[in-house]
Structure 1
Amino acid sequence: MTCDDSCCQDEVETSASAAVESDRHDISKVDDRCFDDGNMSSRTEHTQLKMHRRMPLTTLLLVLILAAGVLAGSEAAFCPNGCDCDDETLVVSCINAKLDVIPIALNPSIQRIVLRENQIKIVDAAFQFYGDLRNVDLSFNHLVTIPDRSFDAQKQLVELHLKQNKISAVTDKTFFGLQSLTVLNLRSNYLETLTNGLFASLEKLEELDLGRNRISNVEPGAFQKLGSLRVLYLDDNQLQSIPSAALAPLNALAELHVGLNAFSSLPDDAFKGLERLAVLDITAAGLDNVSDDAFRGLGALKSLKLNANKLREVPTRQLSALTRLEELTLGQNFFTSVRSGAFRGLANLKKLEISGATLLGTIKRGAFSDNGNLETLVLSNNKRLSVLEDGALAGLPNLRHLMLRDNDFASFSEPLVAWNELRRLDLSENPVFCDCGVMWLADVLAPRNSSPVICAEPKELQGKPLRGMRPDELGCAFSDPRKQALLATLCAAGVAFFVGAVFVLYYRCKRRVRDAFKDYEWKNRTISRKEHEYQKTFSEDEYVVRAAHAAAAAGHHHHHHHHQQHNNNSHLNNHLNNPHSSLHLHQQQQQQQQQHHITSGVKPIPVTEL
């Protein structure tokens, strides 16, 4: 016996009412006579009712509503209120739609379903209807548990997002059947332990996010069979040490995030086996000690974040093993200075950031001497950083981005860096003293669209931007390039005129100057010779010979001076008789001879010629 569609609909509704009253009624007792070969859609709905005979009451009611709609002749899929269902792109989006269950009346061919920000508390068998799903997002719901094999029908599922729920435990069967899954996001849940083989069924998994849970224990085999895993987040948990044994099998891992845990140190070979690791994030992990060989084996590492730890100095020795490192973040540590050669061995370093280091005061000369490929340097928000020693930024020909924002610099040195070659420059929020010494900086800032440099002192310029400030405002004299050129020209002309005048005067008075020098030298020699003659003491024989020669030279005056000669002879005899009066007699004789020569015009004969 058969019945028409109305008969079948009435009987289904009657059976549904009975099922609601008992909450576990066996819907399979509906008479199969209501479904003949000509009414396959009704048979399909009846089969689905059988599959959900143990569903919660609300889910069962939804199934019955769907069945009623289909039996009424509706061929369109049911789209709940607050949802957006696109049958062309096969995407269903139900964001903040106040759903408390997963809809089961959607298009069976959908490939992506987004159920974010609802009140869904459990993953039931609803997903069994959607075997073509590629992407499922159940983030920001109230999921507490996920029954085993809940995704058994999702053989093609690629991404599963369960972020921000209340999931406290999963088993090795929770994700059974997800053989194509590449992304699993369990961030911000309540997981505490990762047991051995927990993700063994996810052999194609490439990204696993377990961050911001309560994980304190990772068993050595927790990541077994994850040979394709490339990205792993274990940050913001309660780990006391790096789970080195569990990480060792992940030989394809490229990114590891383990910051915001409670590490106190990194032991030697902490990341053994991770030869392909390119990104390592250990931000805010409480590190105060890094062993010399902590990073041994990380020959492919390109990015390292060690900021917000308790390091008291740059770990130069430890970092030198990372020869391919290109990006390094070291801010919010306890450095007081960055010493010369602090980043020795990091020849490929391109970006360095040291921000928020509250104790950092000085960057030493040659701090980046080994980092010739550095392109970006960020030294920001270091409240005590006031000294960049001359040569601190020397040897950086490729530097193009310089961020010195919010430090304690009162001025900047013009030779510090090739300012005009920088593509990006930020010197804002520094207590700059604006005077003529920073006039060059105003010129550098003029063509740039960068954060303004505000004058902190002197008082009359406080709060004013340095860029565009006139030279006279900065107290500069002759700072105008045209005035400087004019002044330089005048100075050069003055010097040239002075030198020319000196040469002209020299050539004009050359003979006079030479004669004056000669007269001066001759007089000096004459005076010296006369002093030598007059100061010489003669013996008695020398005096007699000299007197006789003088008398012969002046023979025609013999009679005139006869009496004088007689007196001289008398004095000579007295001298011979009285040796003590010889000196006095000698002096008188010299005076008489000089007077005689003067009156007679005869030049005295030097003693040396006699």
Structure 2
Amino acid sequence: MYPKNLQNKPKGTPACSRFRCHTSNRCMHTLTLFLSCLCALAALVTPAYALANCPSSCQCDDDTLVVRCGEGTLDVLPITLNPFIQRLVIQSNKIKTIDSSLQFYAELLFLDLSYNDLVTLPQRTFQFQRKLQELHLNHNKIGQISNMTFVGLTVLTVLNLRGNLLAELEQGTFAKMSKIEELNLGQNRINRIDPHAFDGLVNLRTLYLDDNTLTTVPAPSIFKAMPNLAELYLGTNSFTSIQANAFIDLKGLTRLDLRGAGLHNISAEALKGPDGLRYLDLADNRLQVVPTNALSHLERLEELLLGQNDFEVIGSGAFAGLKQLRKLEITGAQRLRSVQNGAFNANTNLEHLNLSSNKMLQEVQENALGGLPHLRHVILKENDLRTLAEGLVPWSDLQTLDLSDNPIVCDCQVLWLRNLLVSKNSSNDKLVGVMCAYPEPMRKEPLSQLSPAMLGCSHSDSKQQALIVVVVVVTTATITGLSLLIYGCRRRIRETLKGGWGNSALGRKEREYQKTCSDEEYMTRQQHSCSLSIQPTIPYTSSSGYNMHQTQPYMGSRPIPVTEL
């Protein structure tokens, strides 16, 4: 703001130019000369703000001390602005260099010169901006910076150099900016980083190195200079792999972005160190399998993105160790075809699951999503799913369900899904409608508008169908069991039935005969006509005087002596 005693000073030329001489003509010449000298002297001591001029393409606010120059034709930095301005925004112009005119604005707190044509930054360009807190030079054509470029920016907290032509970072480039918290070097051509390039950045919280031409992850010694780093962006480079302990010194890291980094594999110890990591983006790489061993170190991870990779199967326990995982996205994985049972059995806190746009995904096994009590949002759109098991998830608990753009076969197996869509039609839950793909007569028909009969279901109640199936299975099993039992006991049953139809005496005699005949004799009795007829008895008197009867020997068998009885 202007000093209060000068805020009401009239704009325009000094007051002396309005002086009117009322003296005689004789003194006019002398007085005119005097006034001219006085006005010249006044111009020298008049504050610069009295001469401030706002370019036509800019908006200048002397109350908020903000100047904004939108798209225009400025090719140099204006020098006639209010010298007390605190925010200067000159975007999308044609400024090619920052000359000494910047020294007139020593009160700046915020400077944005993005989307211009800056090619070079002379040394000590910002030496008078000792109050500057944010500097945005993104999307220019700056090709080089050095440790002398940012001299004077001792309180700078944000430096944005994104979208320039930087190829390397020299030693101590940012050493004199110890208070910087965010440094954006993304979308450049950086292929070499001096081991001491980031020395002095002890307060750095966010670092962007994405979209460069790095072939390896920066060495751990480089990251050691930034112990408080919380967010690191390294995507869109050409790493191929991540070596063990690459981030071992980044204990405070909470967000790691490796999207599109060209990764084919990640070693088991690569992610060891940042134990507090909450967010990890590994999408758009070339991973052949889910890096289970590497991920297992991240016990506090809450959000994981793994889409657009080359794995074909998500196997059982693929995300073991991720106990706090709440959101998982696997989208656009063009080779993924199956999600197997127990794939997420270690992720009991999972709330949001996005498995969309996987064009070959035909199978999500029935127990793949089991044991997820907090699951509320499921997105399965744009896959190749033909049907889904009713027991896959507790569907009624979901707040979001999207099964659109799948070739669903509308038959009795999805009656439960039809009933779910109908029952939640009036609720606040976000259930996206399902369109039938097969059979052909139902193509593009909304599943929720089809009756059970149209789906080929004779019983509309799924529980009743299940009861009928159970009864049929039990009846079939009982009949089969009885048949096997009868077949196994057929000889005994036949003998029992034979003895029970008028031949009971014969049956008893035959059993008595079995007790006296040997096994060999019994087996051959049919050939020798081993009759069971009763033989006549011959009376005799025992030595004790009692009358006894002796049976006629059968087929030449010797009589049994009395002494043996």
Q: Which category describes the TM-score, using the shorter chain as reference length? A: 0.7 to 0.9
Partner of 2:247: 271
Distance, in Å, in 1 between the alignment partners of 2:101 and 2:419 is 68
Within the alignment, does 1:207 sit opposite 2:188 as a pair? no
Within the alignment, does 1:240 sit opposite 2:215 as a pair? yes
Partner of 2:55: 80
Query: Which is worse superposed, 86-95 or 534-543?
Result: 534-543
Partner of 1:461: 442
Alignment of 1:229-378 (within 5 A): 229-244=204-219, 245-378=221-354
Alignment of 1:541-556 (within 5 A): 541-542=537-538
After superposition, the C-alpha distances for 1:120-156 in whole angstroms (9 at most, x for unaligned) are: 1111222222222221111111111112222222222
Write the letter of the residue equivalent to 2:133.
Answer: V
Partner of 1:112: 87
Deviation at 1:285, TM superposition (A): 1.1
Partner of 1:409: 385
Deviation at 1:160, TM superposition (A): 0.8
Partner of 2:124: 149
Distance, in Å, in 2 between the alignment partners of 1:426 and 1:218 is 45
Q: Tell me, what secondary structure is at the counterpart of 2:418?
A: helix
Partner of 1:426: 402
Structure number with bigger Rg: 1
Does the 8 Å contact 2:307/2:332 carry over to 1?
A: yes
After superposition, the C-alpha distances for 1:249-273 in whole angstroms (9 at most, x for unaligned) are: 1100001111111112111111131
Distance 1:255 1:122, change over 3 A: same
Alignment of 1:153-168 (within 5 A): 153-168=128-143
Deviation at 1:468, TM superposition (A): 3.3
Deviation at 1:98, TM superposition (A): 2.2
Distance, in Å, in 2 between the alignment partners of 1:312 and 1:374 is 24
Does the 8 Å contact 1:35/1:43 carry over to 2?
A: no
Query: Which is worse superposed, 166-175 or 449-458?
Result: 449-458
Does the 8 Å contact 2:399/2:431 carry over to 1?
A: no
Deviation at 1:484, TM superposition (A): 6.4
Identity of aligned residues (%): 46
Distance 1:538 1:279, change over 3 A: closer
* Pick aligned residue for 2:202 from 227, 230, 241: 227
Q: Tell me, what secondary structure is at the counterpart of 2:447?
A: coil
Distance, in Å, in 2 between the alignment partners of 1:96 and 1:522 is 115
After superposition, the C-alpha distances for 1:198-253 in whole angstroms (9 at most, x for unaligned) are: 01111110000000000000000100100000000000101111112322211000
Structure 2, unpaired ranges of 5+: 1-13, 19-33, 472-498, 514-529, 542-551, 556-565
After superposition, the C-alpha distances for 1:5-60 in whole angstroms (9 at most, x for unaligned) are: 569xxxxxxxxxxxxxxxxxxxxxxxx99775995454357xx7xxxxxxxxxxxx
Write the letter of the residue equivalent to 1:243.
Answer: P
Within the alignment, does 1:384 sit opposite 2:360 as a pair? yes
Does the 8 Å contact 2:133/2:157 carry over to 1?
A: yes
Distance, in Å, in 1 between the alignment partners of 2:68 and 2:431 is 42
Distance, in Å, in 2 between the alignment partners of 1:264 and 1:215 is 17
Within the alignment, does 1:216 sit opposite 2:191 as a pair? yes
Distance 1:35 1:152, change over 3 A: farther
Within the alignment, does 1:179 sit opposite 2:154 as a pair? yes
Normalising by structure 1, report the TM-score.
Answer: 0.70
Distance 1:264 1:420, change over 3 A: same
Distance, in Å, in 2 between the alignment partners of 1:423 and 1:164 is 42
Distance 1:98 1:465, change over 3 A: farther
Partner of 2:109: 134
Normalising by structure 2, report the TM-score.
Answer: 0.76
Deviation at 1:362, TM superposition (A): 0.7
Deviation at 1:461, TM superposition (A): 1.1
Does the 8 Å contact 1:248/1:271 carry over to 2?
A: no
* Pick aligned residue for 1:474 from 434, 455, 478: 455
Alignment of 1:477-496 (within 5 A): 477-479=458-460
Does the 8 Å contact 1:368/1:392 carry over to 2?
A: yes
Write the letter of the residue equivalent to 2:178.
Answer: E
Write the letter of the residue equivalent to 2:346.
Answer: D
Distance 1:40 1:222, change over 3 A: farther
Deviation at 1:279, TM superposition (A): 0.7
Write the letter of the residue equivalent to 2:256.
Answer: L
Does the 8 Å contact 1:81/1:97 carry over to 2?
A: no
Q: Tell me, what secondary structure is at the counterpart of 1:443?
A: helix
Distance, in Å, in 1 between the alignment partners of 2:501 and 2:307 is 84
Q: Tell me, what secondary structure is at the counterpart of 1:328?
A: strand
Alignment of 1:458-607 (within 5 A): 458-479=439-460, 525=504, 528=507, 536-542=532-538
Does the 8 Å contact 1:121/1:141 carry over to 2?
A: yes
Structure 1, unpaired ranges of 5+: 8-31, 49-65, 71-76, 492-519, 546-575, 583-610
Write the letter of the residue equivalent to 1:236.
Answer: D
Distance 1:465 1:78, change over 3 A: farther
Partner of 1:122: 97
Distance, in Å, in 2 between the alignment partners of 1:443 and 1:431 is 19
Deviation at 1:443, TM superposition (A): 2.3
After superposition, the C-alpha distances for 1:312-358 in whole angstroms (9 at most, x for unaligned) are: 10111111111111111111111010111111111111111111111
Partner of 2:29: none
Distance, in Å, in 2 between the alignment partners of 1:101 and 1:357 is 49
* Pick aligned residue for 1:43 from 40, 45, 48: 45
Distance 1:540 1:325, change over 3 A: closer
Does the 8 Å contact 2:265/2:291 carry over to 1?
A: no
Distance 1:294 1:39, change over 3 A: same
Cα RMSD between the aligned structures?
3.4
Write the letter of the residue equivalent to 2:154.
Answer: Q
